[in-house]
Structure 1
Amino acid sequence: MAEYLSLHPDNPQPRMLAKAAQVLREGGLIAFPTDSCYSLACHLGDKEALDRLRAIRGVDDRHHMTLMCRDLSQIAHFARVDNAQYRLLKTVTPGSYVFILEGTKELPRRVMHPKRKTIGLRVPDHLGALALLEEFGEPLLTATLQLPGDEAPLTEGWEIQDRLDDQLELILDGGHCGTEPTTVIDLTSGAPELVRAGRGALAPFGL
């Protein structure tokens, strides 16, 4: 049974953030709110937790996972980013975007696309998510909390508890945060390529 905590949207309680970070360090899976919709998260280095996350989502290793970072310096540590890409990222982060980039050797191979060696990266524009990343001290391996067969992500804490209570260790209920997922932009070929239109505006990319 998942532990259920109500996270204040404007003043995230430090004890709840600390509890969530502890659960993640111990190999747990959590659900938490972001600036687009709720996400699932686990520790980057935990293979078993990643396997569980993929099973819940019903995806295989060809599905791009998202490494959620607290700032651009973390992104640059885990992905190859040239000067032009960095300037572009700086103009739109934090925000509701995922960027597909080539991973560095700092990333375990199992979290990257098996053929392209790429991964999604993002910096959320959400107080609770950023506070959790700050408390955890590392990026989080994440995926949108949309279950197989559903047309939209889960968006209420009680609904997440009802559907996934026996599959998660902790649910951070931060209130309704919408059902529109992030905009996904592929930056691996030089010019930005739209993978998925979502909450993030397309204008900054000329798309």
Structure 2
Amino acid sequence: MMVKLYADAPNYKELAEVVQALRDGEVIIYPTCTGYAYACDALQARSVEKICSLKGIDPKKKSLSIMFAGLSDVSEYCRLNDRAFKFIKEHTGNYTFILPAASSLPKIYKNRKEVGVRLASHPVGRLILEELGNPLIVSSLPLSDDDDPEYASDPELIQERFGGQIGCIIDGGIVEIEPSTIVDCTEEPFEIIRLGSGRIDADEPALSRD
């Protein structure tokens, strides 16, 4: 099923159906600021296992990111000191922040000391998160080096490629694939793990100079 959602004028009936699908444990494909991705309700372990099966990964060995509607929700699942809170608040956009895990995280993160956190910046994705009320586990679509990147950016091509795996694909329009900037905030000074499209100023005082 393909569902077209417009953040500025959403069809709330269809939005409710998407949210109910997530609550029922379904995995969806939806738009993020880094391209389209698998997503599920982070509090449903079986749904997370479905994503791992689709990606062919072991969640005990490979981390999955958690997407939140806003920064105020992050402190419920991660340990967030004042310095990290300020840094994340000042860097809205295309970032992944590595934070110390809290005991309230989903069971699949039970033995993990840290977790990747993202804040929803795509308006359709943020709308879904706000309506769901829970964070989402997200994971990029599995493309090989030989695959056309449009299979993770064009909803029509995504339907063609992945429609047989997924019950619901959210059409939020074309989304360019732009990797996030990853910042490790588990220790100070913070460390840039990967430079992506999220901007980092050269004189940022919270970052390591190594």
Aligned to 2:86: 87
Aligned to 2:76, what secondary structure does the other structure show? helix
- 1:131 is aligned to 2:127: yes
Q: CA deviation at 1:105?
A: 1.0
Q: CA deviation at 1:133?
A: 0.7
Provide Cα deviations, 1:37-72, integer angstroms capped at 9, x if missing partner: 112111112222212212222332222211111111
One-letter code aligned to 2:96: V
Aligned to 1:120: 116
Q: Which whole-Å CA distance do the structure 2 matches of 1:171 and 1:123 have between them? A: 21
Q: Which whole-Å CA distance do the structure 1 matches of 2:43 and 2:12 have between them? A: 24
Q: Which whole-Å CA distance do the structure 1 matches of 2:70 and 2:183 have between them? A: 18
Q: Which has the higher contact order (CA 8 A, sep 6+)?
A: 1
Of residues 149, 162, 165 in structure 1, which corresponds to 2:163?
165
Aligned to 1:10, what secondary structure does the other structure show? coil
One-letter code aligned to 1:132: I
Q: Which whole-Å CA distance do the structure 1 matches of 2:41 and 2:51 have between them? A: 11
Aligned to 2:63: 64
Distance 1:59 1:199, change over 3 A: farther
Q: CA deviation at 1:189?
A: 2.0
Whether the aligned pair in 2 keeps the contact of 1:58 and 1:148 (CA below 8 Å) is no
Higher alpha-carbon deviation: 49-58 or 20-29: 49-58
TM-score by length of 2: 0.87
Q: How many corresponding residue pairs?
A: 202
Distance 1:186 1:169, change over 3 A: same
Aligned to 2:100: 102
Whether the aligned pair in 2 keeps the contact of 1:32 and 1:171 (CA below 8 Å) is yes
Q: Which whole-Å CA distance do the structure 2 matches of 1:77 and 1:14 have between them? A: 27
Provide Cα deviations, 1:117-154, integer angstroms capped at 9, x if missing partner: 21111112221111111111111111122435547471
Q: CA deviation at 1:167?
A: 1.4
Aligned to 1:52: 50
Q: Which whole-Å CA distance do the structure 2 matches of 1:151 and 1:197 have between them? A: 23
Whether the aligned pair in 1 keeps the contact of 2:33 and 2:178 (CA below 8 Å) is no
Whether the aligned pair in 1 keeps the contact of 2:153 and 2:174 (CA below 8 Å) is yes
Aligned to 2:26: 28
Aligned to 1:77, what secondary structure does the other structure show? coil
Whether the aligned pair in 1 keeps the contact of 2:45 and 2:106 (CA below 8 Å) is no
Provide Cα deviations, 1:74-121, integer angstroms capped at 9, x if missing partner: 11111101111111111113x111111111111124136x4x421111
One-letter code aligned to 2:79: R
Aligned to 2:88, what secondary structure does the other structure show? helix
Aligned to 2:38, what secondary structure does the other structure show? strand
Alignment identity in percent?
Answer: 30
Aligned to 1:158, what secondary structure does the other structure show? helix
Extract unaligned runs of 5+ from structure 2.
none
Q: CA deviation at 1:9?
A: 5.0
Q: Which whole-Å CA distance do the structure 2 matches of 1:180 and 1:77 have between them? A: 28
TM-score by length of 1: 0.88
